[in-house]
Structure 1
Amino acid sequence: MTLETKSLSKMDFVYWTSLVSGGVAGLVVDIVLFPIDTIKTRLQSERGFIRSGGFRGIYKGLAPAAAGSAPTAALFFCTYDGLKSYLGQFCSKTQQPYVHMISAASAEIVACLIRVPVEIAKQRRQVISLRYSTSLEIWLHALKTEGIRRGLYRGFGTTVMREVPFSFIQFPLWEYFKQNWTAVTGTALTPFTVAICGAIAGGIAAGLTTPLDVAKTRIMLADENVSKLGVSRILHGIYRDQGIKGVFAGFVPRVLWITLGGAIFFGFYDLTARLLSSDQAK
């Protein structure tokens, strides 16, 4: 086997591992923590928590979320791990955080191609007062009345604006915590400790990017006229009417959801990757 063939096989294995590990991790997180996500969405809704459903029907919207979680997470990690492996060979150790940031930001943009239509269906189902029957009805209505860009992909730019800063914070922190875990704690890096690193990194990133998440939710749930407003104008309007509390609406469930989700997601991702690596070694 030539060096080129070995390199290609290794790269194929990276993509395969990322595809399976990311898909499994994403699906587990979305199913287990879905009620917390529903509460967060209803807190951020312009209609208010109670009118949006309160604690009733907290699993509404699970179907599109579950259907989209695996391919979204798989697409993200295929892009992230692929770019990280490729760019990493051209950069020094001190430049690795920039590699992680670029890889994560690029992966988020690619993943949003699936994430945004799924989010639209999921969040409109989560807000009970909108009275949509099925996810398919939501997509068909959006496509018929607003088209692809303003319907199925409404809020794409805002979602990217939320995900890129989130990734800039989360992934360099996650990689840094993993790299220094053994040196600081004196214990080996296991799927459990990888999960802890992911939880801490995710919680920090979630808290700092909550206002962008609020703007994204308002745009996806709003009527067409409101959805055309920019992020800054939407946040300014929320601040004017509700103050800083409105801008950070859903802060607690968002941080809780992503902290727990980060632990489950990165833990399952690392565990699945290790299992696949051990099978490959055999």
Structure 2
Amino acid sequence: MELETKSYYSTSYVYWSSLISGGVAGLVVDIVLFPIDTVKTRLQSERGFFRSGGFRGIYRGLAPAAAGSAPTAALFFCTYDGLKSYLGRFATESQQPYVHMISAASAEVVACLIRVPVEIAKQRRQALSLKYNMSSMEILSHALQSEGIKRGLYRGFGTTLMREVPFSFIQFPLWEYFKRNWTSATGVALTPVSVAICGAIAGGIAAGLTTPLDVAKTRIMLADESGVRKSGVLVILRGIYREHGIKGVFAGFLPRVLWITLGGAIFFGFYDLTVGLLNSGNRK
């Protein structure tokens, strides 16, 4: 009975630690790097960079991003760490990358329940400032009333998953691999700084490879309802390629890679630092 009680409190602590650490890390990243995300969104917009606002109002959409970042990241890491801990007990060392993939993909599905409505409000504020000259809550209310839940609040949900799941399939196994081999490769103990470097490298690689999916997701979220009713990811990307070539398909590549590389460093660094502080406090 005592063993079961200890196991319960241990599992409960892992969840709370993941929730708090993920929330802190997500909030810091979104606030610090928001201008880069705005530039990336406007570069990917069908209206073009300057017609979408250029460098003006670079912080438009910060409020919904800041409000949604903490719960989104918290939910993600709570799910990821929980599944990784549970599934890892049944997997061999060579099977651990698959555990990380499954855990990350599942966590993305849960996190997107909050992320997608937040992205709708944020990106319309970033790129459609003239049309949507209203608050974030008014944008979401308008989307719900005029387009409904599926085509309004959760427009681009499937496309977002198509971007986030492959991204996580690449990023998290790489991050875990880099952490596991950091000491043997560098001779230096793993610290929050080295965890941040691992996260930056993994995030940059994943960001570059999944840029076309991010372009399609942005177009879907910014389009009028009639423009996305029959348009899937491949249709959108083929249209972009015909009109703008490979440059259009990879629009926003540099700011996206820069944003996620810096974001990965800050996110994973703050996450590891917060976990360490919570563990230190728990031991006391």
In which range does the TM-score fall when normalised by the shorter chain?
over 0.9
1:166 aligns to what?
Answer: 167
Unaligned runs of 5+ in 2: none
Moved over 4 A (4+): none
Q: Distance in 2 between matches of 1:129 and 1:77?
A: 36
Q: Conserved in 2, the CA contact under 8 Å of 1:18 and 1:81?
A: yes
2:232 aligns to what?
Answer: 230
- What TM-score do you get using the length of structure 1 for normalisation? 0.99
Q: Conserved in 2, the CA contact under 8 Å of 1:21 and 1:269?
A: yes
SS of structure 1 residue aligned to 2:60: coil
Q: Distance in 2 between matches of 1:154 and 1:270?
A: 33
Q: Conserved in 1, the CA contact under 8 Å of 2:41 and 2:218?
A: yes
2:21 aligns to what?
Answer: 21
Once the two structures are TM-superposed, the CA of residue 245 in structure 1 deviates from its matched residue by 0.3
Matching residue within 244, 247, 250 for 1:245: 247
1:70 aligns to what?
Answer: 70
Q: Distance in 2 between matches of 1:253 and 1:118?
A: 20
1:175 aligns to what?
Answer: 176
Q: Conserved in 2, the CA contact under 8 Å of 1:38 and 1:126?
A: yes
Q: How does 1:211-230 map to 2 (within 5 A)?
A: 211-228=212-229, 229-230=231-232
Once the two structures are TM-superposed, the CA of residue 90 in structure 1 deviates from its matched residue by 0.8
Q: Conserved in 2, the CA contact under 8 Å of 1:116 and 1:156?
A: yes
SS of structure 1 residue aligned to 2:134: coil
- What TM-score do you get using the length of structure 2 for normalisation? 0.98
1:41 aligns to what?
Answer: 41
2:147 partner amino acid: E
Kindly, what percent of the aligned residue pairs are identical? 80
1:99 aligns to what?
Answer: 99
Q: Conserved in 1, the CA contact under 8 Å of 2:198 and 2:265?
A: yes
Q: Distance in 1 between matches of 2:253 and 2:7?
A: 44
Q: Distance in 1 between matches of 2:214 and 2:164?
A: 9
1:270 aligns to what?
Answer: 272
1:255 aligns to what?
Answer: 257
Q: Distance in 2 between matches of 1:272 and 1:177?
A: 20
Q: Distance in 1 between matches of 2:265 and 2:198?
A: 8
Q: Distance in 1 between matches of 2:81 and 2:149?
A: 30
Once the two structures are TM-superposed, the CA of residue 160 in structure 1 deviates from its matched residue by 0.3
Q: Conserved in 2, the CA contact under 8 Å of 1:51 and 1:129?
A: no
Q: Distance in 1 between matches of 2:219 and 2:62?
A: 20
Once the two structures are TM-superposed, the CA of residue 2 in structure 1 deviates from its matched residue by 1.4
> Is 2:87 the counterpart of 1:87?
yes
> Is 2:126 the counterpart of 1:157?
no
1:58 aligns to what?
Answer: 58
Once the two structures are TM-superposed, the CA of residue 25 in structure 1 deviates from its matched residue by 0.2
Q: CA RMSD in A?
A: 0.7
Q: Conserved in 1, the CA contact under 8 Å of 2:132 and 2:139?
A: no
Q: Distance in 2 between matches of 1:99 and 1:3?
A: 26
1:17 partner amino acid: S
Q: Distance in 2 between matches of 1:68 and 1:131?
A: 19
Once the two structures are TM-superposed, the CA of residue 130 in structure 1 deviates from its matched residue by 2.9
1:217-273 alpha-carbon deviations (Å, 9 max, x no partner): 000000112222100000000000000000000000000000000000000000000
> Is 2:2 the counterpart of 1:2?
yes
1:144 partner amino acid: Q
Q: Distance in 2 between matches of 1:83 and 1:9?
A: 17
Once the two structures are TM-superposed, the CA of residue 3 in structure 1 deviates from its matched residue by 1.3
1:35 partner amino acid: P
Once the two structures are TM-superposed, the CA of residue 129 in structure 1 deviates from its matched residue by 3.5
Q: Distance in 2 between matches of 1:23 and 1:113?
A: 15
Once the two structures are TM-superposed, the CA of residue 6 in structure 1 deviates from its matched residue by 1.1
Q: Distance in 1 between matches of 2:8 and 2:219?
A: 45
Q: Conserved in 2, the CA contact under 8 Å of 1:206 and 1:255?
A: yes
Q: Distance in 2 between matches of 1:181 and 1:137?
A: 47
Q: Distance in 2 between matches of 1:244 and 1:78?
A: 37
Q: Conserved in 2, the CA contact under 8 Å of 1:210 and 1:248?
A: yes
1:280 partner amino acid: N
